[in-house]
């Protein structure tokens, strides 16, 4: 069966919109740590922590953006608002470092909160509940993410590392504008009236205003802490992280609890529980996976022989180029995975979603086993071949294809319709925790033996996979409404 067999036309609009948005995100991400340890003169520890906060918070605000879209704006308006904020953030990065650097990051974090959960929810709305095209459609959508992610380091890293940092960040902004323009051009014709209005309309606007004010205040305080304001720097950074998560979850739950108690069935409650369980296990995956932008990028910069010869021209590859390996493998392998799941489903042999997650964790661990060997080779004889990183990213990508599109599809299948975007925001909480933990973990990269450093994600990945397999029978019962 073809990957694009009879897919809704609106899917392909969303494919290209997401492609340009992810071009902007991954283009900026490829430069972020290198920019901080370079022109901003941050230490590896501080740069990794800022990177961890950023990659965590861009997945925390979708809980807020999903809630506001479900209750007040509707998903389609939220997408436009998010796109505008992110474009402003990328262009702000093109100005001299301070204070634009942290201000730009705040705009990007807030914009992503409105954009990220809602475009995924709109994709889900294109399909009926038991539509067999759904997983294939999400795999196509996921290819859009990775087409943008593949090209962006080549353009943004080349401009940033070889021409000027702010040219690279400016290129990311242009990508976001192109995605927003494409969405505004085609959304009415190709999406109709889907998700135009909130699913459970509310008129009490002080609630979202309060939530947004709290979130922006928290981001400003965090930025001031990293910028050296003594009054804030005395407080441990993890305190802010826990406070942010608790405030947003608590307030969102408080205003969601009344309809939950009155309308949700036992089966729906079990399915929500499944989403939270999968969020927990996804944390282990993304914590290790997000080393791509921190410790693995530093390994590429300092411990990899990046000199290549091409048509008689010898040059040193920008370290950011290695971040194109993951999306390259995604685009190459996604059609195969989509067809494989369909064929296995037709034969009634398709693994359940929890088993796919466990396979993903195992493959991630294999990728870090490759990095253990690479670190050992560097200790013996100096800079290593690029093939070590190629191998690690290959196995990480195999794992990602077993987890990420599957997780997105699972949430749209299991979440009650009135909390579709909110539950998508909850799912992204796995990346929140992963960003924080992964950033602090990467901050120790220069302080420990690198062979030992890469052993830690290997062990946690294998342990989480084993635990998930033990829980799978119970999870499957809840997914299918068996008491």
Distance separating alpha carbons of residues 218 and 210, to the nearest angstrom: 12
pLDDT, average across residues 173-186? 93
pLDDT of residue 261: 47
Q: What is the span of the domain harbouring residue 111?
A: 9-479
| Mean pLDDT within 424-448 | 81
* pLDDT at position 99: 64
pLDDT of the residue at 435 = 82
What integer pLDDT is reported at residue 1 of this predicted model?
42
| pLDDT for the residue 244 | 58
Does pLDDT of 98 surpass 70?
no
Please state the rounded mean pLDDT for residues 203-223. 78
193 against 322, higher pLDDT: 322
What integer pLDDT is reported at residue 370 of this predicted model?
A: 96
The pLDDT assigned to 229 comes to: 54
Q: Tell me, yes or no, whether 360 lies in a domain.
A: yes
Query: Does residue 237 register a pLDDT over 80?
Result: no
Is a pLDDT exceeding 70 seen at residue 249?
no
How many CA atoms within 13 Å lie on the side-chain side of 35? 27
Residue 271, both tokens: 């399915």
> In this structure, are residues 431 and 280 in contact, taking their beta carbons and an 8 Å threshold?
no
Q: What is the mean pLDDT of residues 96-118?
A: 85
Give me the chain's average pLDDT, please.
84
Higher-pLDDT residue of 289, 44: 289
Q: 47 lies in a domain?
A: yes
452: which residues sit within 8 A by CB, 6+ positions away? Answer: none
Q: Give the chain's length.
A: 483
Residue 4 lies in a domain: no
**Res 173: pLDDT:** 92
Q: How many separate domains does the chain show?
A: 1
4 pLDDT tier (thresholds 50, 70, 90): low
The pLDDT, as a whole number, for residue 421 is 67
Task: Report the C-alpha gap between 475 and 483 in whole angstroms.
Answer: 11
Confidence of residue 243 (pLDDT cuts 50, 70, 90): low
Tokens of 74: 């509707």
pLDDT bracket for residue 253 (50, 70, 90)? low
pLDDT band at 236 (very low <50, low <70, confident <90, very high): low
Q: Considering the chain, what percentage of its residues have pLDDT values greater than 90?
A: 30
For residue 395, the model assigns a pLDDT of: 97
By three-state DSSP, how is residue 314 classified? Answer: strand
Helix (H) or strand (E) holding 331: helix 325-346
Predicted confidence (pLDDT) per residue in 341-377, tens digit:
878 888 888 898 899 999 999 999 999 999 999 999 9
Query: Are the C-beta atoms of 389 and 291 separated by less than 8 Å?
Result: no
Q: CA Rg, the chain, in Å? A: 21
Residue 3 belongs to a domain: no
Of 63-67, 409-413, 426-430, give the lowest mean pLDDT range: 426-430
Residue 256, pLDDT > 80, answer no
281-325, pLDDT tens digit by residue?
999 999 999 888 888 988 998 899 988 877 777 888 888 889 889
Residue 31 lies in a domain: yes
How sure is the predictor about 245, in pLDDT bands with cuts at 50, 70 and 90? low
The CATH number of whichever domain residue 437 belongs to comes to 1.20.1250.20
Give the per-residue pLDDT at 399: 96
Q: What is the pLDDT of residue 451?
A: 92
Average pLDDT estimate for 434-457? 86
pLDDT value for 260: 44
Q: Per-residue pLDDT averaged across 166-178, rounded?
A: 92
Q: How far apart are CA 182 and CA 165, in angstroms?
A: 27
What's the CA gap between 116 and 61, in Å, rounded?
9
Q: How confident is the model at residue 378 (pLDDT cuts 50, 70, 90)?
A: very high
Q: Which residues have a Cβ under 8 Å from the Cβ of 64 and sit 6 or more positions away?
A: 113, 211, 212, 215, 248, 252, 425
Does pLDDT of 3 surpass 60?
Answer: no
- What's the mean pLDDT in 247-276? 67
At 140 the pLDDT is: 82
- Confidence bin at 384 (pLDDT 50/70/90): very high
Residue range 45-88, pLDDT digits in tens:
888 888 888 888 888 888 788 888 888 888 889 999 999 999 99
* Residue 234 confidence (pLDDT) above 60: no
Q: Say which DSSP state 307 is in.
A: E
Task: Give the model's pLDDT for residue 233.
Answer: 52
């Amino acid at each position: 069966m073809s990957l694009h067999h009879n897919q809704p036309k609106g899917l392909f609009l969303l494919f290209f919109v997401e492609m340009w948005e992810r071009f902007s995100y991954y283009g900026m991400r490829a430069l972020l740590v290198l920019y901080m340890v370079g022109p901003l003169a941050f230490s590896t520890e501080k740069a990794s922590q800022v990177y961890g906060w950023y990659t965590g918070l861009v997945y925390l605000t979708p809980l807020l953006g999903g809630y506001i879209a479900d209750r007040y704006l509707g998903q389609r308006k939220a997408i436009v608002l998010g796109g505008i904020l992110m474009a402003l953030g990328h262009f702000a990065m093109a100005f001299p470092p301070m204070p634009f650097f942290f201000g730009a990051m705040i705009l990007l974090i807030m914009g992503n909160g409105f954009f990220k959960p809602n475009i995924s929810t709109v994709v889900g709305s294109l399909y009926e509940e038991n539509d067999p095209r759904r997983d294939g459609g999400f795999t196509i959508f996921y290819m859009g993410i990775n087409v943008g992610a593949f090209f962006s380091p080549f353009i943004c890293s080349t401009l940033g590392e070889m021409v000027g940092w702010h040219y690279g960040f400016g290129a990311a902004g242009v990508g976001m504008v192109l995605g927003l323009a494409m969405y505004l051009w085609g959304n009415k014709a190709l999406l109709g009236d889907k998700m135009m209005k909130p699913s459970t309309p509310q008129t009490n606007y002080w609630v979202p205003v309060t939530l947004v004010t709290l979130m922006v205040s928290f981001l400003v305080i965090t930025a001031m802490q990293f910028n050296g304001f003594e009054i804030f720097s005395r407080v441990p950074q993890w305190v802010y992280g826990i406070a942010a998560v608790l405030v947003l979850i608590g307030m969102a739950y408080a205003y969601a609890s009344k309809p939950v108690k009155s309308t949700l069935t036992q089966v729906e409650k079990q399915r929500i529980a499944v989403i939270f369980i999968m969020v927990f296990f996804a944390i282990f995956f993304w914590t290790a996976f997000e080393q791509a932008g921190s410790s693995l990028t530093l390994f590429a910069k300092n411990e990899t022989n990046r000199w290549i010869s091409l048509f008689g021209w010898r040059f040193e590859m920008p370290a950011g180029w290695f971040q194109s390996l993951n999306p390259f493998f995604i685009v190459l392998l996604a059609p195969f995975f989509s067809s494989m799941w369909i064929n296995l489903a037709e034969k009634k042999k398709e693994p359940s979603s929890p088993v796919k997650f466990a396979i993903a964790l195992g493959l991630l661990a294999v990728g870090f086993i490759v990095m253990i060997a690479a670190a050992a080779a560097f200790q013996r004889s100096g800079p290593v071949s690029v093939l070590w990183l190629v191998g690690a990213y290959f196995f990480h990508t195999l794992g990602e294809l077993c987890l990420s599109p599957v997780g997105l599809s699972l949430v749209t299948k299991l979440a009650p319709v009135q909390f579709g975007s909110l539950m998508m925001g909850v799912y992204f909480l796995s990346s929140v925790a992963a960003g924080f933990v992964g950033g602090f973990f990467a901050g120790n990269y220069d302080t420990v033996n690198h062979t030992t450093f890469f052993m830690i994600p290997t062990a946690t990945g294998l342990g989480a996979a084993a635990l998930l397999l033990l829980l799978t029978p119970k999870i499957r019962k809840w997914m299918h409404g068996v008491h």
